[in-house]
Amino acid sequence: VEALAARAPASNEGKQIAAMLRGDGAVIVVGSQAHMHPYFSILAALAQKIAEAIDGRLAFLPEANSAAAWLAGCVPHRGHVDAETAQEGLNTSAMLDAGLKGYILLGVEPELDCTQSMLAAKAMEQADFVVTLSSFHTAASDYADVQLPIATFIETAGTYINAAGNVQSMLGAVPPPAEARPAWKVLRVLANNLQLTGFEYQSSNDVLDEMVFPSDLGSVRYATTEIAPDPSREAASTDTLQRIVDVPLYRIDPLVRRATPLQQTRDNPGPMVRVNMQQAEQLGLTDQQQVLCRVDGLTIPLMLAVDERVPEGCVWIPLGYHETAALNGSCRVRLGRK
């Protein structure tokens, strides 16, 4: 932390934040923008060191129901309730990098929900066989071989675990329409037809009954992490801007993306490019001007908005829009006039 501070002198705003953090009960919260950064592990370790230096606490904001996913073993390297697995699987990034022959998509639109959206779209197009389970008619029609209709979360029973560790079970508010079925039922029937074992559930309660929840769910502590240098990291180009990746509130999943009233609110900024005033002036750009975003041979036209919340040397371009789906994660972007 000291070495980093020496290389990056603090601004007045940074010093004010540091002064406030030294008070009693200081908490550093690591959110979704950090989670989507390719160097998240380094950011998390730095945040931890800062928390230790100010005698504060470090907190992570988990994605919805991600605690339950971990406990149920929906991660490639652990079984349910943190049990060891005989063979590790692949995480999403590894699946996309591997260019697998087949994919099963459960309630996800890869080109909109994956940080590496272009990589995800190409992986689907190049796969031999893709099955998608979705509540909506999606762009999967362009690459999916089979589409199976599933219920939305309000049309099925299930159990959630929130960030505080509270187990919350619920019933479906309304029945699913037409031929749609809860996703777990669709997966069960597919597994039965493939003669796989362990899929004899008759209700979501059968699944819940197999879970043995730790008594201290609300007091989970993260292990400490040491920062290791990354020799593969290349120096950033001086004529490009670092993209800040974010998912707007009403673009986070297929359901809200199709809610017309939510899309018309001020909280839905639209597929725009945002830089601060100084950055815009350096590039000769003005507010509400259409600009060209150039990345790896691709050129994408988007509207520019001047926003002083964006740091120097950075550009904010959101995920979750078809207009920005051609950009891969935290890439370097070159902006220019149209």
pLDDT in tens, 199-245: 988 998 888 888 877 776 666 665 555 555 554 555 556 689 999 99
Q: What is the pLDDT of residue 217?
A: 66
CATH number, domain 66-209, options 1.50.10.20, 3.40.50.740, 2.20.25.90, 3.75.10.10: 3.40.50.740
Can you tell me the distance from the alpha carbon of 186 to that of 194, in angstroms, rounded to the nearest whole number?
13
CATH entry 2.40.40.20 includes domain 236-338: yes
Comparing 66-209 with 236-338, is the CATH topology the same? Answer: no
Can you tell me the distance from the alpha carbon of 249 to that of 267, in angstroms, rounded to the nearest whole number?
7
- C-alpha distances (whole Å) from 180 to each of 133, 157, 169, 245, 257 are 10, 14, 21, 34, 20
- C-alpha distances (whole Å) from 247 to each of 42, 219, 250, 274, 338 are 21, 28, 8, 14, 25
Q: What is the pLDDT of residue 183?
A: 94
- C-alpha distances (whole Å) from 118 to each of 19, 297, 320, 327 are 41, 13, 12, 6
Render each residue's pLDDT in the chain as its tens digit; 338 residues. 566 666 767 778 777 877 777 767 888 899 888 888 888 888 888 888 888 888 888 888 878 888 888 888 888 988 887 788 888 999 999 999 999 999 999 999 999 999 999 999 999 999 999 999 999 988 888 899 999 999 999 999 999 988 778 889 999 999 999 999 999 999 999 999 999 998 988 998 888 888 877 776 666 665 555 555 554 555 556 689 999 998 999 999 999 999 999 999 998 989 999 999 999 999 999 999 999 999 988 999 999 999 999 999 999 999 999 999 999 888 999 999 98
At 179, list the tokens: 């031929």
Q: Which residues contact 132 (CB under 8 A, 6 or more apart)?
A: 104, 105, 138, 140, 144, 146, 147, 148
Q: Domain-by-domain residue ranges, the chain?
A: 1-61, 66-209, 236-338
Mean pLDDT, all residues of the chain: 87
Which residue's entry shows tokens 């079984």? 79
Helix (H) or strand (E) holding 293: strand 290-295
- C-alpha distances (whole Å) from 263 to each of 46, 257, 320 are 36, 7, 12
Q: What is the pLDDT of residue 189?
A: 95
> Is residue 260 within 8 Å of residue 291, measured between CB atoms?
no
> Is residue 319 within 8 Å of residue 116, measured between CB atoms?
no
Measured in degrees and rounded to the nearest 5, phi and psi for residue 31 equal -105, -160
The 8-class DSSP code of residue 43 comes to H
Which residue's entry shows tokens 């490019």? 273
> Is residue 90 within 8 Å of residue 98, measured between CB atoms?
yes
Smallest CA-to-CA distance from 315 within 243, 231, 229 is with 243
- C-alpha distances (whole Å) from 333 to each of 54, 291, 326 are 35, 12, 12
Cβ neighbours, 10 Å, residue 182:
20
pTM of the model: 0.83
What is the dihedral angle through the alpha carbons of 142, 146, 151, 152, rounded to the nearest 10 degrees? -30
